[in-house]
Amino acid sequence: MKNVILFLLLQGVVFTACNSFNKTAEEEKVKKVIDAYFKAIQSNDYEQMKANTTNDYLLFESGKVWNNDSLWNEIQKFKDNTIRFSINSHSIEIDQRFAHVVYFNHGDIYQNDSLTSRMDWIESATLKKIDGQWKIFFLHSTQRD
């Protein structure tokens, strides 16, 4: 009987530890990774782009397949321009290992401090938790009309 009680108590501790996942806190961490990735693009910071993505990160946009290297090379063609992103309407599905995020992304593009164009995208991203940190694994971006 003593062993049964000890077993049930141990099972309760394990069950509680496994269910200590704080969904709201993890959703906020995921949002911060998405925001940090676009801030890295905005500030032309390749190292921060890589820091917020997995090593095998892929971006699907405008019928092309990109990774951080190819995206970085494309960004360098427009060094005279700056872009300011604003992301809103996050919808997040999350568990302990993966998160899927759907959101709207707006970009104001400037040249010489003058607004030259505006763009809007519908985007979705999949993130993986690696060594306790959320990283963008896949991002799909479609331009809105």
- Structurally, the chain folds into a number of domains equal to 1
- The DSSP H or E segment spanning 65 is strand 64-66
Residue 32: how many other CB atoms lie within 10 Å: 13
The CATH number given to whatever domain includes residue 111 is 3.10.450.50
pLDDT band with cut points at 50, 70 and 90 for residue 63 = very high
79-111 burial by CB neighbour count: b if 16+ within 10 A, else e?
A: eeebbebebeebebebeeeebebebebebeeee
Cα within 13 Å of Cα(63), Cβ side = 0
Instruction: Summarize pLDDT for 107-143 with one digit per residue, the tens.
Output: 999 998 899 999 999 999 999 999 999 999 999 999 9
36 inside domain: yes
9 inside domain: no
13 inside domain: no
86 inside domain: yes
Local structure of 63: helix, strand or coil: coil
Could you list the residue range(s) of the whole structural domain that residue 59 is in? Answer: 22-143
79 inside domain: yes
- The DSSP H or E segment spanning 69 is helix 68-76
Region 93-120: what's the mean pLDDT?
Answer: 96
pLDDT band with cut points at 50, 70 and 90 for residue 45 = very high
Q: How far apart are CA 35 and CA 85, in angstroms?
A: 9
Instruction: Summarize pLDDT for 65-91 with one digit per residue, the tens.
Output: 999 999 999 999 998 899 999 999 889
